[in-house]
Structure formats: structure tokens, C-alpha cells
Amino acid sequence: MKLALIAFALVILPAVLGQTGEVYPCKTDVASVRGVSLSQEPRVNVQCGVANQMSSRIVAGSVVTPNEFPWMAFLRVNFWSGDSAMCGGTVIDGRWILTAAHCTFGAVSITVILGAHDITVNSSDANRQEFTSRKWVVHPSWSYGDVENDIAIVELPVAAVLSEYVRPACLPYADDPNQLGNPVTLLGWGNYSSTPDSGFSTYLRKTLTTVISSAGTTGQCQQQSGVGSFSGDKIICSDGSQGRRFCYGDDGGPMNFYDSYWGTYSVVGIAWIGDKSNDCQNSRLPNIYTRVSYYVNWIYNNTDIVPTPRPVTTTTTTTTTTRPTTTTQTSTTTTTPTPTTTTQTTTTTTTPTPTPTSYPSGFDCKGKPNGVYPNPWNDCSRTFFYCSNEYAYEYVCPDAGTVFNEALCECDYTTNVAGCWDEVKR
């Protein structure tokens, strides 16, 4: 009976610890994991938000250096009628593109082009990757025309090959400040000219602007934009004067903030509906973007991209108190009390400063036997990993409503997975 219980325990454990502490896979053959697509590329752990060339000066509407912003995605949105529209997007992971919810409205498929500078059909871009996606997630609180909650994530059918030409932008911290007055860079292939029927830009363009107040529901942005009331917690705005505007076709593209301490960019905003008028560049209206920091937990719940915790700085406070020396004199005795010194030290516990990456810590197969391993960061996850000769390959349960069941070492419905009982994935 004891032997039977031990055997049962070994079957249900997702990984087995050896005598020296090493972890073994729950299965050795990834092909035996039911319902898994085998066409995925290995996940590459790269630093997010690193631009390929920094410009010392940005003129409104200037063409960027090719692949300067390797997280920029071009989206061609395809409809049943055969018509199409264009939007921008942001690579936030090898499999996920961040964009606006309204960019997906009515779509039957979305063509995603990464590593592109020239988006024409005859482009000579050597590093572009093209995907056709039919899977995306729209924020459940968004309705067409809404300013708030205009956010969606597009899932690529296979993971993009990450390199210096295609890499993710960093996500902001969930508790980022309002960034009032900070310089930000807007990107897109949208209409940049006031000339009628001039069309979209062939090449990716950028403009530098500054964050303005959208505090509460009556900030500067709400007063000047003329689109009604909205919450500044969910919306970030920037100055649109002097041609510093995003326009039609730039929808869904990123507002990028450069962190000089890390030397990286984070995507702090997603472009709302672009102005179709010929007067877009001269309108001086604010640029309205979805504030990404408000939605990082929603992104995590749908992609397993874990929010990065804000680094905590060590603070040590030392207080020294010295009692003054006093002299007491009587007719026969002089007494000098001993000075008293009190030292109080307070130390703040620190959290190690993380290195910004597309995954807070990429799954490491070094020293691990070949085989299948669960996602170590989440007990209710669609993703799992396969180690082969110390290379890590990421897999995703492809069927809707399924996650990786560590006990069975295969994809299963959330109702059968203990880790999902407290948190059901949308």
C-alpha cells in the first residue's frame, strides 16, 4: 500500500526533486503533451526597450532611422468586405502585440509586420517578419467610441524571432507617476501632411512632445480635447501644438517614455482614434492615449507577462543625541556627569533592482534534463516550457479556456487546475 501511494505521488508531481535538489521534467517528450502546437520558436530573453540609435534632436514628424524602435509593429486590419485599415502596435513579448481596441473592431484577421521601416509591398527591408493573427483580446469594459479602456492585445500564431531588429518595449510600473511634463516620443505610419489626399507615410515617423495634465476628470487635456469627460487614471495626454500630433493611421501606436537611468524606453500610452481631417497637424488638440500603467495587471492576466516590481532603494537613517555636560558645585564637591550619547539606526529592507527584460526572468534550462516544465511564475498559466539541450522553448495551450495542468503535465480546462480556482483566466 505504501508503495502504491509513493508511485501515485510521483505521477501527479509536476517536477521531481532529486537528492541534490535538481528538478526533473514532468514528461520527457513534448509531443506527448496533448493539444500543443509544435511549430513555436524558442523564447529568447532579451532586454526590453533598447533603441538601436538615439537621436540628439527630434523634429516633429521626422523619419526615424531604420529599426531605431524595434518594438514598433505595423498592423493591417482586414475586414469581411475585403477592405482593410492600418494601425500601429507595440511588441511587448515574442507572442504579443499591444494596440488599441478600436483597431480590432470588425476585423476578421490582422496582418502584423515587425522589423519594418518601409511598409510598402515592394519594401526591401531585410529584417521584417510577417504574421497573420486571428486571435486577440479586447478589454471587456470597452465599447466602440469610448475614450477609456481602448486597449487590446494581439496574439501571434507563432513567436517572433527576437533580435536587435525585433525586440519588446518595456512595460511601465503599475504605480508609475502621472509623468506630467515628461518628454515622450510618438511613432506611426499615419497621415503626417496637411495636403489633401496625401495618404499615409511610407516610412515610420516620430515626433517629440510633452505630457500634459489629465488629472481627475477636468484636467487640461479634458478641457482642450472636446471629447467629453474621462479619467486621468486611464488616459495620458500630450501637447499637440506646433504639429506635434498623431493623426489618422497612427491609431494603436505607442507613446514612448525614455528612462535615462536604465537607458530604455517603456510604452506608456496607446494612441486613440486618429484625426482624419486635413487640419490634423495644425489643430493643436491634445494627443489622447490609453495610460498603459493602469492596465499592466490586465495584460498579465491575459498574457502571463508578469508586471515588473518597482525597485526599492535602501535607506539608512542614523540619529545621534548627545546630552550636554553640566557642572554642579557645592561647598566641598564639584560633580561633572558623564555625557550620554544615544544612537538609533533604522534600515529599510531592500528589493533587488531588476534588470528590465521581456520576461522578468527568462526560463533557464541550463543544467536541466530535457523535457517539459510548468511555468514557475504562475500556477494558472497557458504557457509551459520544454528544455532541449539546455535551450528553452515556450509553448502555449492553443485551445480557448485551457491552461497547463502541472499534475497531468498537459493542457486542461481551468476548472480542473487547482491553481486556477482562486483566479480564473479571461
As given in the structure block, the three cell numbers for residue 146 are 469610448
pTM above threshold 0.85: no
- State residue 329's pLDDT score: 53
Written as tens digits, the pLDDT of the chain (426 aa) is 443 433 333 333 445 444 444 678 888 877 777 655 544 444 455 788 999 875 433 334 577 788 899 999 999 999 999 999 999 999 999 899 999 999 999 999 999 999 988 888 778 788 899 999 999 999 999 999 899 999 999 999 988 888 889 999 999 999 988 899 999 999 999 876 655 555 678 889 899 999 999 988 888 999 998 888 899 999 999 998 887 888 888 999 999 999 988 889 999 999 999 887 777 777 889 999 999 999 999 999 898 788 877 766 555 555 555 555 555 554 444 555 555 555 555 555 444 444 333 333 467 777 888 889 998 878 888 888 888 777 777 787 877 778 889 889 988 888 899 888 765 444
The DSSP element (H or E) to which 73 belongs, if any, is: strand 72-78
Residues 147 and 127: beta-carbon distance below 8 Å: no
List, in sequence order, every beta strand (DSSP E) within 191-304: 205-212, 235-238, 254-259, 264-271, 287-291
Instruction: Round to whole Å and give the CA distance between 67 and 116.
Output: 7
- State residue 348's pLDDT score: 52
Instruction: Indicate the SS3 state at residue 42.
Output: strand
Instruction: Round to whole Å and give the CA distance between 354 and 54.
Output: 23
Burial class (CB in 10 A: 0-12, 13-18, 19+), 306: middle
Angle 110-146-256 from CA coordinates, rounded to 5°: 65
As given in the structure block, the three cell numbers for residue 389 are 539541450
Residues 148 and 235: beta-carbon distance below 8 Å: yes
- State residue 337's pLDDT score: 54
> How would you classify the pairing of strands 235-238 and 316-322?
unpaired
Burial 119-152 (b: 16+ CB within 10 A, else e): beeeeebebbbebebeebbbbeebeeeebbbbbb
Instruction: Round to whole Å and give the CA distance between 75 and 130.
Output: 10
Burial class (CB in 10 A: 0-12, 13-18, 19+), 315: exposed
Instruction: Round to whole Å and give the CA distance between 171 and 298.
Output: 12
As given in the structure block, the three cell numbers for residue 188 are 506611426
Instruction: Round to whole Å and give the CA distance between 170 and 292.
Output: 11
CA 289 to chain centre: 15
